[in-house]
Amino acid sequence: MSPDVVLADFFSGCGGTARGFADAGVQPVFATDWDEEAVQTFKLNFPDVKAVQRDIRELAAEEVVSVMPAADEAIRLLAGCAPCQPFAGHRNAATGEDERSDLVLELLRFVEALCPQLVFVENVPGMRRASRSAGPFMEFVEVLKKTHHVAFDTISCADYGVPQTRRRLVLIASSLGEIDVPTPTHGPSTDQPHVTVRDAIHSLPHSVNAPESSAISSHRAMRLTPLNRKRIKATPEGGDRRNWPKRLWPDCHSGGFGGHTDVYGRLSWDKPAPTLTTKCISYSNGRFGHPSEHRAITAREAARLQTFHDSFEFAGGLTSQARQIGNAVPVLLARRFGQHFVEHVVEAQARDSAATSGQADRAAVGENEMRNAA
């Protein structure tokens, strides 16, 4: 029987973390994000969870505590996946620096108020590189270490069954005992190969104009300009702008191509996709061209590459949906970490039960000895 574990999801986005944890047996009870349409999506898919649109800096801890079960009724899990892109308007006027990097420290208020036994944080690897010995992330780690066992590492989502080479910094913590980042389930060191683009999206109708496509929510593609249609037709599977004839080159690249070759690229059928971004359905903004169709991938195809099930509905227009999908924690990644947390709780409870039983046995032996002596 699974233990009762409840989730408070900060920077929840559209619900990738919550969906994965729920699939692992964790019950989401609270979620918050600044993106209004992401919160609408969360509510569509989790109608029984209290989800609020709020800047975390303006969120009162009491509002979260009020919906959480009592500490002795359930294990509390706090998840916080602070966004990595700057908020518009949240740049410090005096220094010009992005204030978003400090948002992870806002979670400490809620750690103090909720006293969660478990903590999960996900972000870009750059947060760790920028603060190996100082900075917001390491400050968060050092404070958390006072009450929890902490482990963190940079992982590839492809190693956990996600059809995407997305690299992420993940932190897990527990006050119940020592805990480590879960071992990979896919890749060369396992008995399961990486999941590919073909595995993820090939079963969807390739033509978005086909009648069956209309029955699948969000299976729509952005329109291409006539020039970009010529460009994608000149791009083979797995290829990019370097495959074009010079007449299709942008004026700014008349001297050749350098920098990011993924721009104007096509996906490869038999490899994981690269990291999906908030512009993951735009052909000109990354390797987001369909492997064989002359179009960018659809929002639903992008959602599958983030391991959302087709039943997961997205609010807003295509641009908003792409932003929500690109910002999300892949569902399968969250599920794997959720399973790891549940297994950890079961082991901790078994240890506690064995210790309690041992104490009771020793007490009973002591009473018998005293009785016999009398």
Contacts of 286 (CB under 8 A, 6+ apart): 262, 263, 265, 274, 277, 279, 280
Q: Which two tokens stand for residue 50?
A: 């209290």
Are 289 and 232 in contact, with CB atoms under 8 Å apart?
yes
The active-site residue out of 84, 115, 157, 252 is 84
Q: Where are the beta strands (DSSP E) in 48-113?
A: 50-53, 75-80
Are 16 and 330 in contact, with CB atoms under 8 Å apart?
yes
- Burial class (CB within 10 angstroms; exposed 0-12, middle 13-18, buried 19+) of 283: buried
Length of the chain as a residue count: 374
Q: Which two tokens stand for residue 72?
A: 């002795």
Q: Could you confirm whether 84 is annotated as catalytic?
A: yes
Are 102 and 135 in contact, with CB atoms under 8 Å apart?
no
Are 205 and 297 in contact, with CB atoms under 8 Å apart?
no
Give the active site residues: 84
